[in-house]
Amino acid sequence: MNYESGILPSGSAVKQKCAKKSMIYPLSSILRRAFCGLALFLFFNAPGLLAQSTTHQDPQCFSIHVRLNGKPLDGPQVITLKTKENESMVSLEGGCFKVPVALLTEKTLRVFFTVPGNKIDLAAISTSFFADSWDVELEDKKFDQGIGLPKHARIKEACAVVFHGGEPENALSQTGCRTPIKAN
């Protein structure tokens, strides 16, 4: 055996023991360094992290896109959010509606808005959907087959809403949520 040149026989117990030790030692050293680095980071940044968690968060923001018979309509510029006790009007700002934080404590909100030719009244929308974009589909004759409506529903009075922002996306359909507005 030639120990001076660092060559050990392949079946050598010494070689196997050295190989195990050299694999374990660097790994534990890396973990130790990572742990110490994380501890130092948390120690020096803890006041900043705590301050971030207690600051006022921006209200949730969502957008509404409306289509009639598959064609885009101008979306609402103002919506009304209603609880059992309160009503709040919210204007479109920067492409989205910012829901007042006080309303997000409710389980559901009623949403009213107008688009060209239609007044929309969506009942009992979960506040969990007020952070992403919505697609509101309106039809004059029939909805796609994937939209579930009661058998004798009036298509011109129904709405289908897809809430984006989750996998899978959530959708609902409501009857009686659409009222035509006569043009002046």
Query: Residue 114 contacts by C-beta under 8 Å, 6 or more apart in sequence?
Result: 76, 120, 181
Q: Is 81:88 a contact under the CB 8 Å cutoff?
A: yes
Among 85, 63, 76, 148, CA closest to 112: 76
Number of helices followed by number of strands (H, E) in the chain: 1, 11
Question: What is the rounded CA–CA span in Å between residue 126 and residue 146?
Answer: 21
In the prediction, which pLDDT does 146 show? 77
Q: State the pLDDT at residue 20.
A: 47
What confidence score (pLDDT) does residue 184 get?
A: 61
Q: What is the pLDDT along the chain (184 residues), one digit of tens a residue?
A: 444 444 444 554 544 444 444 444 444 555 455 544 544 454 545 444 443 333 334 457 899 999 999 999 999 999 999 999 889 999 999 999 999 999 999 999 999 999 999 999 999 999 999 998 999 999 999 888 778 888 888 999 999 999 998 778 899 999 999 999 987 6
Contact 120, 73 (CB under 8 A): no
Q: How far apart are CA 128 and CA 163, in angstroms?
A: 10
- Asked whether the whole model's pTM tops 0.85, one would answer no
- For residue 32, what pLDDT is reported? 56
Give the start-to-end residue ranges of the domains of the chain. 11-55, 61-180
Task: Yes or no: say if 153 and 141 are a contact pair by the CB < 8 Å rule.
Answer: no
Residue 2: what pLDDT? 44
Distance, in Å, from the CA atom of 166 to the CA atom of 184, rounded to the nearest integer, reads 41
4: which DSSP letter?
T
140, 132, 150, 49: which is closest to 96 by C-alpha?
132
Identify the burial level of 68 via C-beta atoms within 10 angstroms of its C-beta, where 0-12 means exposed, 13-18 middle and 19 or more buried: middle
Collapsed DSSP state (helix, strand, coil) of residue 131: coil
CA distance linking residue 85 with residue 89, whole number of Å: 14
